[in-house]
Copies of this chain bind each other. A is one copy, B any other.
Amino acid sequence: MIFRQLVDIETSTYSYLLGCERTHRAVLIDPVASELDVYINLLQSLNLKLIYTLETHVHADHITGSGLLREKLGSKSVLHRDAGALCADLLVTDGVLLQVGDLELEVRHTPGHTSGCVSYVMADRVFTGDSLLINGSGRTDFQQGDAGKLYDSIINKLFSLPADTLVYPGHDYQGNTVSSIKQEMGKNPRLGHGKSREEFIAIMQELKLAYPKFIDKALPANQSCGLVAE
């Protein structure tokens, strides 16, 4: 498998390119609109055809590149049915298996950061979007956020994965790129060491985070797969 972790410095967003060497088919997880040329050049240099852009959710902090990639390369945009983005080409739900060449990804519905959040599970790794972050979690104070639901999602849908499953998040603001289920179950300060649901909800309530910088622009744009009227 071809695997690249790509970072958008401005918003500390991670995107992921997964390619099948046998069929030359590929997917991009959470592509960022401003990085369009990077993706197109990379796909071309690796001789890959982009089949799907897989969104973990409707983002509030950057504009998705899924609509532009559809226009340029004919790829299809994948989102959870509850994400409320009618622009998506393929709407998925919990447990759906997606195959692209020899790549296999299972959709896990992990609501809490938003109601349409999913994680994409492969044999040895999981892409958790803004549900589970390294030493943290997605915020739950806007966009259908619900700390209790997020706790249930992480405990039941992610911490139930094999302990050595690699965790690839949607962001990191401290320069970490990858973790594992075992590390997060042990050391995540919000959820690790068997923290209770009540403790997690209390922690999330006390965060008092600033209003997200890009939300007023990003949310409406991402409900149209990032295609904004100029």
Contact = CB atoms under 8 A, between A and B. Distances in A.
Nearest to A100: B99
Q: How many copies does the complex hold?
A: 2
A108 to B, nearest CB: 13
A90 interface: yes
A182 to B, nearest CB: 28
Given A90-B91, A91-B90, A96 B81 contact: no
Contacts of A29: none
A76 interface: yes
B100 A96 contact: no
Given A81-B91, A90-B90, A91-B81, A99 B96 contact: no
Contact of A95 (B76, B91, B92, B99): B76
A76 B97 contact: yes
B90 A93 contact: yes
A141 interface: no
Interface in A90-125: 90-93, 95-97, 99-101
A61 interface: no
Contacts of A51: 97
Question: Is the interface on chain A under 10, 10 to 19, 20 to 34, or 35 or more residues?
Answer: 10 to 19
A28 to B, nearest CB: 15
A89 interface: yes
A92 to B, nearest CB: 6
A97 B90 CA distance: 10
Contacts of A95: 74, 76, 89
A208 to B, nearest CB: 37
Nearest to A70: B95
A101 B100 CA distance: 9
A74 B101 CA distance: 22
Interface of A: 51, 74, 76, 81, 89-93, 95-97, 99-101
11 contacts: A74-B95, A76-B93, A76-B95, A76-B96, A76-B97, A89-B93, A89-B96, A90-B90, A90-B91, A99-B100, A99-B101
